[in-house]
Amino acid sequence: MVSETPPEGSEVNEADQSVRFHHGDYLLTEETVEVTRANPSRIVLVAGPVSSGKTTLFASIYSKFQQGPFAEMLFAGSRTLLAFERICFPSRIESARAIAETTRTTHSPRLNFLHLGLRHASLASQRRDLLLPDVSGELFAEIENSADACRELALLSRADTVAVLIDAGRLTDVAQRQGARSSADSFLRRCIESGMLGAQSNVDIVITKWDLFVDSEDNQQFIDETKRSLGERYGEQVASLGFWTVAARPSPNTLESGFGVDALLQHWLEAQRTLPTFDYAPPKIERSFDLFLDARVEADRGE
């Protein structure tokens, strides 16, 4: 049994010695430090227009783990269980709704994060923590339009993956499809030209609500053209550009619940932001102490 210092997250009331615990709700940016410090972590920034399915995607992942292991992973804890439960509630019978819904992300000046601890079901590897900032559709639109807004979202350049959502229902609607593609294009262009995405960035284009895709030659051609054009324009400017289709909560009798979400989750857990490389010129060694220090460094590297 490995002994470890228990995680922080509780405070003692000096007056009566009762204990106040961490709120269990969304984490603020400063609260994520505890998470990233404790375990290998992945930050996946999911962005998209209003109602593109961001929060439904998060709710779907969490709901799948409530049924059992998912995407070959085991649930290993969460510091934001209350937040997950709140966003899932409108999709449950207990909410007394006739149709499943998702709590809409309200626009906030502060980033809120969901947290999931996961571990491969084989237990062969260490636990990995997934941090999911919940970015509002309004902020997505603002970033499309403003370099300042783009640069203010510092997480864009630090996330291991930036996932841009496009609603399949809009892509197969003649009146909306050009706008849907243009929106994703504008967002990516803004992020790259602002220097927030670049050669170290992993980018995913996630087509959501795939159950709404109307299968026709014309629609399939438009999807293919969308992939081609975005790939050509931005593929060489980022570390990786992937395309995914999901249906987190499909309509009855269309696709299985969580279609494509398992593969996407596995991909996010594996993708890691490429660290920048730089040319290192070792200092000229003259003193005896420098010789000793250099030898220790080499030994620590195992070289």
Partner 1 sequence: MASERTSLMMGLTASGKTTFLAALWHVLRAGDVPGALVLDRLAGDEHYVNGIYSSWLSGDQAARTARSAVRCVELHVKDKQDRRISVIMPDPSGELLKDAVCERYWPAELDVYAQNAAGVLLFVHPHGVVMPHLISAVDIDEAEDEPDDEDGVWEPAMMPTQVMLVEMLQLLRSRSRTLHRIALIVSAWDEARRSFPGIEPVQWLDENVPLLTQYLRARTEYAEWTCFGISAQGGRIPDDKSRLLAHANPSDRLLVVGHPHANEHDVSAPIRWLMADL
Cα-to-chain-centroid distance, residue 298: 37
Q: Which is nearer to partner 1, 134 or 144 (CB)?
A: 134
Q: How far apart are CA 83 and CA 31, in angstroms?
A: 14
Q: Which of 48, 53, 117, 137 binds partner 1 (CB under 8 A)?
A: 117
Least gap, CB of 254 to partner 1 (angstroms) = 11
Q: How far is the CB of 115 from partner 1 (least distance, A)?
A: 11
Asked if residue 16 binds partner 1 (CB under 8 A), the reply is yes
In whole angstroms, the minimum distance from the beta carbon of 132 to partner 1 comes to: 18
C-alpha span between 298 and 99 (Å, rounded): 62
Tokens for 235, please give them: 């593929």
Q: How far is the CB of 72 from partner 1 (least distance, A)?
A: 12
Interaction of residue 85 with partner 1, rule CB under 8 A = yes
Residues in 197-256 at the binding interface with partner 1, rule: CB under 8 A: 249-250, 252
Nearest 5°: phi and psi at 261?
-70, -35
Please report whether residue 124 would count as binding partner 1 according to CB under 8 A: no
From 63, 102, 112, 136, residue interacting with partner 1 (rule: CB under 8 A): 63
d(CA 149, CA 144): 9
**Candidates 18-26, 175-183, 200-208, 292-300 — which segment interacts with partner 1 by CB under 8 A?**
18-26
Q: Which is nearer to partner 1, 17 or 277 (CB)?
A: 17
The C-alpha atoms of residue 269 and residue 132 are separated, in whole angstroms, by 12
* CB 64 to partner 1: min, Å: 10
Residue 296 has φ and ψ, to the nearest 5°, of -65, -40
Tracing tokens 């510091």 back to the chain, one arrives at 79
Our finding on whether 272 is near partner 1 (CB under 8 A) is: no
Does residue 104 bind partner 1 (CB under 8 A)?
A: no
CA R_g for the chain: 22
Q: Mask 246-265, x = binds partner 1 (CB under 8 A)?
A: ---xx-x----x--------
Nearest to 64 by CA among 118, 103, 107, 24: 118
Q: Dmax of the chain from CA atoms?
A: 78
> For residues 103 and 87, what is the distance between their CA atoms, to the nearest angstrom?
5
**Regarding beta strands 27-28 and 112-120, do their DSSP bridges make them parallel or antiparallel, or are they unpaired?**
antiparallel
Q: Does 175 contact partner 1 by CB under 8 A?
A: no
Asked if 123 is part of the footprint of partner 1 (rule: CB under 8 A), the reply reads: yes
Which positions from 153 through 172 interact with partner 1, judged by CB under 8 A? none
